[in-house]
């Protein structure tokens, strides 16, 4: 495929896209990455999907820009930061839940163990490593399993923030199941995704239970 001829209007469009992206994100790396992506996409795009007529260079850039940064529900979401935002919200959502369990576990650590380790000459870090961590290991194991299952079944934060976009980069298995079953009404593929999700959950849980024999102390 031959390279397209970059007209003055196309270069101005690219410059405008770069400046708008830089102003919105305050991040030169994101703006430069989108700029380079637009150049590659515009060079690959030769015809308009619906009409079939040849686009000029400026129209190619504009069309590719819309395809890259505008989600299906017209929410402006930059593909570089989408996963990061979902991760931050997921961690924030689960942090308080985990802290409640850890506070309860810490209160149940026997004081006699700290006193005995102090008589043996253990310092603060040694007490934490040899007494606290082993005593709260069952709680840690429980939270690892629950967090893993919750991550595989992430739905609400994705529905609110990105709805699986852009281009499916934040779509989890559960959200794919929802889209196939309740938006596209493709029950066959939705059932297959559900079965795969159950199998993955069982396998990861089995691995965690096997590994827990080495570090969990009841």
Task: Please list the pLDDT of the chain residue by residue as tens digits (218 residues).
Answer: 445 555 566 666 667 767 766 666 666 776 677 667 666 665 655 433 443 334 455 555 555 555 454 433 333 344 445 777 788 888 888 888 899 999 999 999 998 988 888 888 888 889 998 899 999 999 999 999 988 888 888 888 888 877 777 667 778 888 889 988 988 888 999 999 999 999 999 999 899 888 888 888 87
- H or E stretch covering 98: helix 79-107
Q: Which residue has the tokens 């082993």?
A: 134
Q: Write the DSSP assignment of 138-202 as a string of letters.
A: HHHHHHHHHHHHHHHT--HHHHHHTTT-STTTT--HHHHHHIIIIIS--HHHHHHHHHHHHHHHH
What are the distances in angstroms from CA 183 to CA 36, 142, 179?
Answer: 34, 34, 5
**Measured distance CA(71)–CA(74) in Å, rounded:** 5
Is the pTM higher than 0.85?
Answer: no
At 126 the three-state DSSP class reads helix
């Amino acid at each position: 495929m031959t390279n397209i001829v970059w007209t003055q209007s196309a270069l101005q469009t690219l410059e405008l896209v770069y400046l708008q992206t830089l102003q919105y994100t305050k991040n030169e790396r994101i703006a430069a990455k989108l700029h380079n992506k637009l150049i590659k996409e515009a060079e690959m795009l030769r015809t308009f999907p619906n009409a079939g007529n040849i686009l000029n260079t400026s129209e190619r850039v504009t069309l590719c820009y819309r395809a890259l940064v505008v989600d299906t529900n017209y929410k402006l979401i930059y593909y570089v930061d989408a996963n990061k935002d979902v991760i931050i919200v997921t961690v924030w959502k689960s942090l308080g839940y985990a802290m409640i369990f850890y506070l309860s576990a810490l209160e149940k650590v026997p004081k006699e163990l700290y006193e005995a380790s102090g008589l043996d000459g253990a310092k603060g870090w040694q007490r934490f490593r040899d007494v606290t961590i082993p005593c709260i290991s069952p709680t840690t194991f429980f939270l690892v399993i629950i967090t893993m299952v919750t991550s595989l079944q992430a739905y609400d934060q994705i529905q609110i923030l990105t709805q699986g976009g852009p281009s499916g980069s934040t779509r989890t298995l559960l959200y794919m199941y929802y889209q196939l079953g309740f938006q596209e009404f493709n029950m066959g593929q939705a059932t297959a995704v559900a079965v795969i999700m159950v199998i993955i959950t069982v396998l990861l849980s089995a691995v965690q239970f096997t590994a827990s024999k080495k570090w969990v102390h009841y």
